[in-house]
Amino acid sequence: MSTIKALRKNVTLSTIRRGIWDENPVFRQVLGICSALAVTNLLANTLVMSAGLFFTAAMSSFTVSLLRRYTPRDVRIMAQVLIIASYVICVDLAIKAYYPEISATLGPYVGLIITNCIIMGRCEAFAYHNPPIPALLDGAAAGVGYSVVLTFIAFWRELLGFGTLFGHQVLGDGFTHWTIMVMPPGAFFMLGITVWLFRGLLPPERRD
């Protein structure tokens, strides 16, 4: 009995570890790059976007998994898009209602979570073949993996670009703002550096 429990715990941990580190959606699979570039100039925006993606990834995987026995193979992608889109629209409406300012700055990117390959990828690769609870965990872990990388990028972009963190001044007036960091080129630099750095932390045999 206890071995089964231990095994389950082990599987759970490895699912989480896989989503956050081993198969991190951003720096391992290089998915969701468009939004990783677009919403990382301010930490506040990044956190709202990450929360949106976390919720959508977890709930979509869960729902796809719940319906997996009833979903015919030939219409499964249609069903997945429908499920993902519904959750994303709900998230978008909630942000519009409760954080109108952030909604305005995020613009179309929340809606574009619908086409984010991370969510679709987890639904198709994992949720469609696994029971609901592991699927929920798997989606959530992918969401956390995405959030961690984006927050890391946003931290440096906001700090160096505006001298602030979450809008609070941290660097003194003497600090010259690296304006390029909050512009699109800064996003490319930071993403490149981040992928390089995180991959460098992996043992050599696991690098591609």
CB of 171 to other proteins, least distance (A): 21
Nearest distance, CB of residue 85 and other proteins, angstroms: 8
Q: Which of 6, 14, 107, 207 binds other proteins (CB under 8 A)?
A: 107
Question: For residues 184 and 192, which CB has a smaller minimum distance to other proteins in the complex?
Answer: 184
Q: Please tell me the distance from the alpha carbon of residue 151 to that of residue 163, in angstroms, as a whole number.
A: 16
Cα–Cα distance measured from residue 50 to residue 39, given in angstroms and rounded to the nearest whole number: 10
* Residue (of 115, 86, 91, 114) closest to 102 by Cα position: 91
> x/- string (CB under 8 A) for other proteins, residues 72-91?
xxxx--xx--xx-xx--xx-
8-state DSSP, 177: P
Binding mask 129-158 for other proteins (x = CB under 8 A): ------------------------------
Could you tell me the smallest distance in angstroms from the CB atom of residue 172 to other proteins? 22
Residue 6 or 34: the one with the smaller Cβ distance to other proteins is 34
In the bound complex, what is the minimum distance in angstroms from residue 92's beta carbon to other proteins? Answer: 10
Amino acid 71 reads T
From 98, 166, 188, 196, residue interacting with other proteins (rule: CB under 8 A): 98
Angstrom distance (rounded) from CA 59 to CA 139? 8
Q: Is 159 exposed, middle or buried (0-12, 13-18, 19+ CB in 10 A)?
A: middle
Binders of other proteins among residues 14 to 73 (CB under 8 A) are 38, 67, 69-73
Return the residue of 131, 167, 184, 192 that touches other proteins, per CB under 8 A.
Answer: 184
C-alpha to C-alpha distance for 42 and 25, rounded to whole angstroms:
21
Least CB distance to other proteins at residue 114 (A): 12
* CB 46 to other proteins: min, Å: 15
How far is the C-alpha of 139 from the C-alpha of 118, rounded, in Å? 9
Burial class (CB in 10 A: 0-12, 13-18, 19+), 101: exposed
Asked if 94 is part of the footprint of other proteins (rule: CB under 8 A), the reply reads yes
